[in-house]
Amino acid sequence: AQSVTQLDSQVPVFEEAPVELRCNYSSSVSVYLFWYVQYPNQGLQLLLKYLSGSTLVKGINGFEAEFNKSQTSFHLRKPSVHISDTAEYFCAVSVAGSNYQLIWGAGTKLIIKP
């Protein structure tokens, strides 16, 4: 069965420092990949997605992610975080042949230290 693993449940980082949130998936077929952000007491908002083409994907709020097929990873990065980036981040995978249901990671809480 397909699965999505977010390797860190929490990532503390100082303001203006770079950050990487890790996401690995297990699937042998083609996938679509997504990163969502959830601010407190809100729904989820799409940060970026990979459907095809360039493996480096740029999203909103200065985030980017790189699809690595050989390592089955889709890590999220930002070169300089701001206090407003404090939120929960979810990685999700949509697998061909499964009616494109999203398989969700457990989430990573990004904690920005002043």
Partner 1 sequence: EADIYQTPRYLVIGTGKKITLECSQTMGHDKMYWYQQDPGMELHLIHYSYGVNSTEKGDLSSESTVSRIRTEHFPLTLESARPSHTSQYLCASSVYGNEQFFGPGTRLTVL
Q: Where along the sequence are the contacts to partner 1 (CB under 8 A)?
A: 32, 34, 36, 41-46, 49, 51, 88, 90, 94, 99-102, 104-107, 109
Which amino acid belongs to residue 25?
Y
Residue 107 C-beta: closest distance to partner 1, Å: 6
- Between CA 75 and CA 56 the distance in angstroms is 10
Residue 60 C-beta: closest distance to partner 1, Å: 13
| Residue 60, helix vs strand vs coil | helix
Question: Tokens 């950050």 map to which residue?
Answer: 19
Residue 13 or 98 with smaller CB distance to partner 1: 98
